């Protein structure tokens, strides 16, 4: 079942730089997809388009049946409630505890405190940070901070989890743990996961679908692919 | 219920973050305090100047002397004709006997002079006040054309100079106050921008988790409101006590008895209200503008 569909997507920035050229791809519900490519290859633009941080210059981006490209500014927030985003630099609020950081996501949606509590605790349990509920971000390791970020991204039970180089700042061991968490979210919660990464080891080990973007063009789409198969071509 | 929860949360968060980011909030509050203080003082001065020039202008009048041959009938006729001229506020008749009495009382040497005359040498007159001082000249000219009128004068050149000087003073103070309000708005907006700049991460997270724009803006708008109102507290206290004390020390007038100050009660409260309103509105719009920048809309 198609969940995400990009058709002939072009993106040219006002500076004249073309980030994406005629990109078309389909992603099904529940898939786990890696997006790889060099720095400035256009993979960030691709990722940002999915949660409407960027708009395509041409073409259509359909996420869960909604053409994101045509979405009015005032309605973008409705799309984002269905999407969780995890960043390389965590983007946690330093003055809030782990619990408050995760609850913050639901509070700004105007949810009742009584509804927020069980959801937040569940999300924190999924990422395995039950014991650190009252800690502040600066008291946590990098891996733990990234787990908080993931918990915040999934607390509203999104259908799509977008990860923009989530392991970019972490050592290989911690990266592995984080990937386990993300994989279990994909398996257990049936959340579609799209992850941009540079980490060859992760891609090679996990044997998931890989999209290769080079100079703004989708040059490879491998089921159970890896960096190796890309090098072979 | 959801909108109420969002508003409630916004107010709570606004208070929280004012105290959580205390040093930055303090910078904004101090900036508001200083600029609003300047606005408040200039407002007090400007309104007083305006009031003084207005009341001095109201003192300006045309004195019309009638010919000796004017009969009572002429006087009544003239009075009603002059009253009908545009911009004439009031026509008061003052007979030569009244003049004589007044002059004798003012200086006894006048009395001695008058004793040398068998009849009163002075002339009957009208004192005319006008609603618009710029039409003094036009009205005086019109009256001079009338029958049985000996002369009509209002101090001519001196008065014209005074009137145009007052006009310049009034306009200048108005411009200064408006300019100060703009400077205040600019300065407060910019310091608030700095406090919000340090929290752009917060705004970004709110956007990404799907908070509606209004839910993102509200806490910052309330925060701006709190900063503006807190910033106006000291200027308001200074306005109220400072003006009352100054008024008492100066006995209610300045330089000469002619220029009286506006009585402090109610006046200081109006000015305070304006200052608090300015603080609140500028604070709210300042943060709204700053947030919009990070909302990318």
CATH of the domain at B108: 3.30.70.3040
When mean pLDDT is compared across A92-101, A126-135, A148-157, B258-267, the lowest value belongs to B258-267
In this structure, the number of other CB atoms found within 10 A of the CB of residue A13 comes to: 11
Q: How far is B18 from chain A (nearest CA, A)?
A: 13
Q: Are residues B73 and B218 in the same domain?
A: no
Chain segment B243-276, per-residue pLDDT in tens: 999 999 888 877 777 678 888 888 999 999 999 9
Q: In terms of domains, do B171 and B147 share one?
A: no
**Is A73 close to B215, i.e. CB distance below 8 A?**
no
Number of domains in chain B: 2
- Across chain B, mean pLDDT equals 87
The yes-or-no verdict on residue A231 having pLDDT over 60 is no
What is the average pLDDT across A85-104? 89
Can you give the pLDDT at residue A149?
A: 93
The CA-atom distances, in angstroms, between A129 and each of A98, A135, A160 are 9, 10, 22
Same domain, B204 and B275: yes
CA distances to B29, B67, B103, B158 from B150, in Å? 66, 5, 20, 21
A172: tokens are 């290989």
- Name the domain boundary from B153, B182, B197: B153
Phi-psi region of B266 (alpha: psi -120 to 50; beta: other; left: phi over 0): left
Residue B125: strand pairing partners: B65, B94
- Residues B244 and B107 both lie in one domain: no
Task: Please indicate whether, in this complex, the C-beta atoms of B3 and A78 are within 8 angstroms of each other.
Answer: no
Write out residues 181-240 of B within 8 Å (CB-CB) of A: 201-202, 204-213, 215-216
Q: Give residue-wise pLDDT tens across range A49-79.
A: 999 888 899 999 999 888 988 888 888 888 8
What is the rounded CA–CA span in Å between residue A213 and residue A201? 18
Choosing among B209, B213, B296, B297, which should be mutated to test the A contact, i.e. which has the most A CBs within 10 A?
A: B209
| Min distance A205 CA to chain B CA atoms (Å) | 30
Tens of pLDDT, residue by residue over B203-250, are 888 888 888 888 888 989 999 999 999 999 999 999 999 999 999 988
Looking at the complex, does the CB of residue B172 fall below 8 Å from at least one CB of chain A? no
- Burial code (b: 16+ CB inside 10 Å, e: under 16) for B164-178 equals eebeeebeebeeebe
Neighboring chain B residues of A106 at a CB cutoff of 8 Å = 209
Between chains, do A77 and B207 touch, taking CB under 8 Å as contact?
Answer: yes
Residues B125 and B272 in one domain: no
Examine the domain organization and report whether B140 and B198 are in the same domain.
no
Residues B70/B81, Cβ–Cβ less than 8 Å: no
Residues B51 and B94 in one domain: no
- pLDDT score, position A228: 62
Q: Are B282 and B185 in contact (CB under 8 A)?
A: yes
Residue B264 neighbours by CB under 8 Å, 6+ apart: B243, B244, B247
Give the pLDDT band of residue B152 (cuts 50, 70, 90): confident
| Chain B: closest CA distance from residue A104 (Å) | 8
Query: Is A79:B186 a contact under the CB 8 Å cutoff?
Result: no
What are residue A80's phi and psi, to 5 degrees? -70, -20
Highest-confidence segment of B146-155, B269-278, B286-295: B269-278
* Cα(A178)–Cα(A186) distance, integer angstroms: 13
Q: Give me the domain span that covers residue B147.
A: 61-153
Nearest chain B CA: its distance from A59 CA (Å): 22
Q: What pLDDT is attached to residue A232?
A: 40
Residue B140 and residue B225 in one domain = no
Q: Please tell me whether residues B110 and B221 are part of one structural domain.
A: no
pLDDT at B297: 52
Shared domain for B12 and B113, answered yes or no, is no
Q: Is the pLDDT confidence value at B296 over 80?
A: no
**Residue A82 reports pLDDT greater than 70:** yes
Between A114 and A225, name the one with better pLDDT: A114
Provide, as residue numbers in chain B, all residues whose Cβ is less than 8 Å from the Cβ of A111.
5
* B 3-32 residues inside an 8 A Cβ radius of A: 3, 5-6, 9, 20
Residue among B208, B216, B219 with most chain A CBs within 10 A, to mutate: B208
Q: A14 CB near a chain B CB, below 8 Å?
A: no
**Which of residues B153, B180, B212 is at a domain's end?**
B153
| Displacement of CA B257 from its chain's centroid (Å) | 20
Q: Where does the pLDDT of residue A233 fall: very low under 50, low under 70, confident under 90, or very high at 90 and above?
A: very low
What residues of B are in contact with residue A91 (Cβ under 8 Å)?
A: 201, 204-205
Q: Convert the pLDDT of each residue in B275-284 to its tens digit.
A: 999 999 999 9
Pick B210's closest partner by Cβ from A80, A91, A112. Answer: A80
* pLDDT exceeds 90 at position B86: no
Instruction: Give the domain ranges of chain A.
Output: 1-76+196-233
Do both B233 and B145 map to the same domain? no
A1-76+196-233 CATH pick, 2.60.120.10, 3.40.50.300, 2.60.120.430, 3.90.1660.10: 3.40.50.300
Closest-CA residue of B relative to A109 is B211
């Amino acid at each position: 079942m198609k969940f995400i569909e990009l058709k002939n997507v072009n993106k040219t920035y006002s500076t004249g730089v073309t980030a994406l050229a005629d990109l078309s791809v389909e992603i099904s519900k529940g898939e786990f997809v890696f997006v790889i490519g060099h720095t400035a290859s256009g993979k960030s633009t691709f990722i940002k388009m999915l949660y409407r941080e960027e708009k395509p210059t041409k073409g259509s981006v359909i996420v869960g049946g909604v053409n994101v490209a045509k979405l009015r500014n005032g309605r973008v927030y409705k799309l984002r409630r269905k999407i969780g985003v995890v960043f390389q630099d965590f983007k946690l609020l330093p003055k809030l505890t782990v619990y408050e950081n995760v609850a913050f996501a639901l509070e700004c949606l105007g949810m009742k405190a009584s509804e927020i509590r069980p959801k937040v605790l569940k999300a924190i349990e999924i990422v395995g940070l039950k014991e650190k509920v009252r800690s502040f971000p600066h008291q946590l390791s990098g891996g733990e901070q990234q787990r908080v970020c993931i918990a915040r991204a999934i607390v509203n039970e999104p259908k799509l989890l977008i990860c923009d180089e989530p392991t970019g700042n972490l050592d290989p061991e911690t990266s592995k743990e984080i990937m386990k968490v993300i994989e279990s979210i994909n398996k257990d919660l049936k959340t579609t996961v799209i992850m941009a990464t540079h980490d060859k080891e992760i891609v090679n080990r996990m044997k998931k679908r890989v999209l290769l973007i080079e100079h703004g063009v989708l040059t490879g789409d491998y089921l159970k692919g890896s960096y190796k198969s890309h090098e072979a071509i | 219920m959801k909108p109420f929860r969002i508003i409630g949360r916004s107010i709570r968060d606004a208070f929280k973050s004012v105290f959580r980011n205390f040093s930055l909030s303090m910078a904004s509050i101090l900036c508001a305090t200083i600029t609003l203080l300047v606005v408040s003082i200039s407002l007090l001065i400007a309104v007083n100047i305006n009031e003084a020039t207005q009341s001095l202008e109201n003192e300006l009048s045309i004195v019309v002397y009638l010919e000796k041959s004017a009969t009572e009938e002429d006087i009544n006729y003239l009075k009603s004709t002059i009253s009908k001229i545009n911009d004439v506020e009031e026509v008061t008749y003052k007979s030569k006997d009244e003049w004589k009495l007044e002059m004798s009382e003012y200086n006894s040497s006048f009395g001695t002079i008058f004793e040398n005359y068998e009849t009163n040498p002075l002339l009957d007159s009208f004192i005319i006040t006008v609603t618009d001082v710029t039409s003094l000249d036009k009205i005086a000219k019109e009256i001079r054309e009338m029958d049985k009128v000996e002369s009509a004068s209002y101090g001519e050149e001196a008065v014209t100079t005074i009137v145009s000087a007052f006009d310049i003073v009034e306009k200048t103070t108005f411009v200064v106050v408006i300019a100060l309000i703009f400077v205040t708005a600019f300065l407060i907006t910019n310091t608030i921008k700095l406090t919000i700049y340090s929290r752009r991460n917060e705004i970004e997270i709110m956007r990404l988790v799907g908070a509606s724009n209004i839910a993102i803006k509200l806490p910052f708008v309330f925060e701006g409101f709190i900063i503006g109102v807190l910033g106006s507290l000291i200027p308001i206290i200074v306005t109220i006590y400072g003006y009352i004390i100054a008024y008492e020390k100066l006995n209610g007038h300045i330089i000469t008895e002619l220029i009286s100050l506006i009585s402090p009660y109610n006046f200081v409260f109006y000015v305070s209200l304006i200052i608090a309103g300015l603080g609140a509105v500028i604070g709210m719009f300042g943060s709204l503008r700053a947030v919009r920048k990070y909302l990318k809309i």
